[in-house]
Homo-oligomer: A and B are copies of this chain.
Amino acid sequence: MPYDPSAFPPFAVTVDLVVLTVRRHALCALVVRRGESPYQGRWALPGGFVRIEEDLGAAAARELTEETGLHVQGPDDRHTGAHLEQLATYGDPGRDPRMRVVSVAHLVLAPDLPTPTAGGDADSVRWAPVDSLLPPGQPCGDGPDRSGGQPDPLAFDHSRILADGVERARSKIEYSSLATAFCPPEFTVGELRRVYEAVWGVALDPRNFHRKVTGTPGFLVPTGGTTTRQGGRPAQLFRAGGATVLNPPMLRPDV
């Protein structure tokens, strides 16, 4: 290794955030409008520089709070706040025209909440349906190229990061209890089902879904309360149980 560590090449390290929620039966991502060049005026994922004495996860949590007011769920704290996990790292030379930037992308799953107001400016941040941000039929698909090429709506390589985050969310709710991170602290089986339907983009049988989730040990614990906020017969309320991995997993149709 003919490489001198004391002369290591300097990189800028940032975190980018794929913040997902389910609103009005659609999977949505948080995007912010860029105020500066490059890509001025374009939408981008929230993010920023990692500070020199700051852990990567801490930087992601800080940026999340700064840009959305959301807080991250502590390890002890059972479901007050959002789920955060590292997604992947993007370091292509030239992904930022200004300098060599390595970005550690993180994935955040948040319950539906009032439209966030950024640190200062209000209409420079919004929830956008992922279908409107991503080329259609992309993620699961493997086939040849389709969608004859509208302009990429997101700055930098953020479309790819978003696609990776959406794909991660789609597969993780299959074998983990993470779908509850999209729900308020107390929720019904029907609300949880609508999360799965929105994230996967499929319709699920309500009867079989109910049996499945209530029969998976540790997934849901009843609170005793009921609600009629969805109309119809009152539904039991549940909280997320202690299980993190689902056994048996939820089965996504076809694929």
Contact = CB atoms under 8 A, between A and B. Distances in A.
A1 B98 contact: no
A89 B104 CA distance: 7
A110 to B, nearest CB: 21
Nearest to A119: B1
Interface stretch (A3-11, A130-138, A208-216, A231-239): A3-11
A53 B99 CA distance: 11
Contacts of A245: 255
Contact of A13 (B1, B48, B56, B91): B91
A245 B54 CA distance: 37
A100 interface: yes
Given A56-B91, A89-B89, A247-B255, A49 B5 contact: yes
Contact of A49 (B3, B86, B89): B3
Given A55-B91, A56-B91, A8 B12 contact: yes
A102 interface: yes
A86 B13 CA distance: 17
Interface in A1-27: 1, 3, 5, 8-13
A221 interface: no
27 contacts: A1-B48, A1-B119, A3-B48, A5-B49, A8-B99, A9-B12, A9-B13, A9-B50, A9-B51, A10-B10, A11-B50, A11-B102, A13-B13, A13-B91, A13-B102, A50-B102, A52-B93, A54-B93, A55-B93, A56-B92, A86-B89, A89-B89, A89-B104, A91-B104, A102-B102, A245-B255, A247-B255
